[in-house]
Structure 1
Amino acid sequence: MTRINAGSGRPWPLGRVGPSDCKGRRWRGGGMRGGGSANLEVVPKRRHVLTEATAIGGGYCVLATAYIVFSDQALALLTTDPDRLVQYGTYKGVAFVLATAIGLFAVWFMLAGRAAREHERRETALRRLEAIGRALPSPLFVNDPEGGILEWNNALEAVSGYTAAQLAGMTIADLAYPDDLALARRAIERILRTGQPDVADVRLATADGRALLHRWHGAPIREASGAIQGIVVVGVDLTDIRNAQEDLKRSLLRAERILRQTVDTLGLAIEKRGAYTAGHERRVAALALALADELGLPDEERAGLEYAALLHDLGEIAVPADILVRPACLSDSELAIVRTHAEQGYEILREVDFPWPVADIVHQHHERLDGSGYPRGLAGSAIRLEARIIGVADVVEAMCSHRPYRPALGMAAALDELRDGRGVRYDAAVVDACLTVCRGGFEFPVHSY
């Protein structure tokens, strides 16, 4: 009777089941099913065998006793002649021996057939496991609870560069990169403590001194009693994945730099159209970000707000320069042309696939809470929060800066305007955030190109 450990490629005697009996042996098979025990039972349990033996022995005793008793009674009815009784008794004994031999042969034939089927099943399972082990490209090994390497597949030799003779005397401490050894040991301890599979990202220390990052998946191997006798571990190489992730990260950073440079260039093109608006976009963006921080805006929304603030007057490219820099009040028709810049900015940006609603924010930055803004007269929650923030920052920056038609009005006048329009033209929470930020000593940055 034997039990086969899944993947070991060799039977373990029932009298000493466990990986410790197979130390230093190359794993010719491989593979597990499920997340718990890795043992594959190919013979009946001992209790089942004992039950069968009891049934067969008991049945034989009953039949033999019945034969003896009833055959003796039958002979007594047939004759009372002592000589004939001896003769008939001889015949009866020979018949009993023949019947017993036939019965024993039948039982042996049945058991031999079953043993042959079990043997074939075991050999098929071993061939299947060996095929899986040969096909598995990932390193796989079994270690004992103390970390000793017991069995392994060819992939571990290929990846690590160690020979079978070297692996036979190695432990987890030899395979794990020194800086990652504590991670490996904690994973083993968790498996032994919980009896559940576990995962750890640990670098494999190769024979030539390299450190190859793998994600190791471990699961317990149990004895029939349920005690954990070892851990089967399979590794997935993360080196190429991590390299690809690093390449992707660098590409994203480069794309982000290009995007920022493009936005800055567009801002510069806007500001070059008039000396009075130089730096306007950047100063509005600086105040808008300070308000976003005060309001607790998430980082993702904060990034979109910054880009929208830097581009909020992009549509002024479509407004004649003589109107933008005219040192006098504009007529109604000229003012209407200036007000088209929000719509023009939206038209320019709406086909750009930003990860944020930049075009919509630019479109709405002159809308007001009470519906008195332009270009669509939106009101209340129909206006994006980012647009409401930029709207307040835009008003404050404009009033604090010189314009062709008037000198700077100053921060005090700007804050009075916000207080007057709080909850009417301007979002109350945004106004409160602006008052807090300005009382805290906010100053517009000085930008130069």
Structure 2
Amino acid sequence: MAEHPAYPVGLRLSGRRVVVLGGGQVAQRRLPALIAAGADIVLVSPEATPSVEAMADAGEITWRQRRYQDGDLADAWYALIATGDHEANTAASAEAERRRVWCVRADDADRATAWTPATGTSAGVTVAVLTTDARGRDPRHTAAIRDAVVEGLRDGTLVAPHHRTRTPGVALVGGGPGDPDLITVRGRRLLAEADVVIADRLGPRDLLAELPPHVEVIDAAKIPYGRYMAQEAINNALIEHAKQGKSVVRLKGGDPFVFGRGMEEVQALAEAGIPCTVVPGISSSISVPGAAGIPVTHRGVAHEFTVVSGHVAPDDERSLVDWPSLARLTGTLVVLMGVDKIGKIAETLIAHGRSPKTPVALVQEGTTAAQRRVDATLATVAETVRAEDVKPPAVVVIGEVVTVGPRPAP
């Protein structure tokens, strides 16, 4: 058999019995895919890793807590043999041969009747890579090929045209804090498939340069507003392009639902009967402090963190923030869109009990090449912002966590 390559095939295991022998690391890696395939999984093993045990506790698999016995593979369609007992593996492999059950052996691939390919998924496509030469099997090589293909599909560098008509609609994509590598895999794939991209100023701009020439890129800040409010004009642009049968991506900075007016756009699209997919993004409220070496929580320092918008001052009648209550909290306070109001914010927090010595960090252009961090206290932050000429976009972190990590270089 070693002279012939393996025949690739996709097994449809939904509702069909699959037996896994051994509850160690191999089973832990293979079980999630079998569960996702809908298989009726029986695990036979006296012990299991905590993760495998959790799958049994959740009812995703049936665990027979004992060693392998002859007859365990009866009525099975597929078997994975991965125990540490070579004799048991050999006996189980022989039973699989007698019962004509396709069998994978983790300890001896040459004696198996099936091999597990290196697999990955992207956009509903499963990529499976097998070595054709049985005598020169190289799992690392096949895994590297798998990774290269899947990564290309995910980031759009490997684009295969769709021959079926795509359903027009809008994808509301959170682009993350600014670094183009921090957009989600799904968000990047949808960008690569888009006909139209309507982008915010704070979205990951570098990604726009990677789009194919036929993609229409629209700066949301430059949409003609006319008699409409800015958000209404953006909503109308999304609806108009989607109704033309185009695949539209609304690219926003951070996460669409964290001070991003994402739900307003979802509601407008729903009223117009336009399907909308929401792709969450990494919020700058957590990622930007992290990129600057600041944890928003830390054991023994902060057990909670609160994220607030600072786009209106505490004494503004439009403010919905309970600043006196925030001043009494002992955890971390993260302020977005608050650089130009930070003086008023600091005064209010101090007036309601927060110590003037509370550390403050301002992280400007977080996660980008232009990132910089400026430290102060509540008492000095207003003057520091003026003296250091801190400009938006910047995330303000208030609390003792600012001093936890290594001090920033001068």
TM over 0.5: no
Structure 2-normalised TM-score?
A: 0.25
The structure number with the bigger radius of gyration is 1
Which protein is richer in helix relative to its size? 1
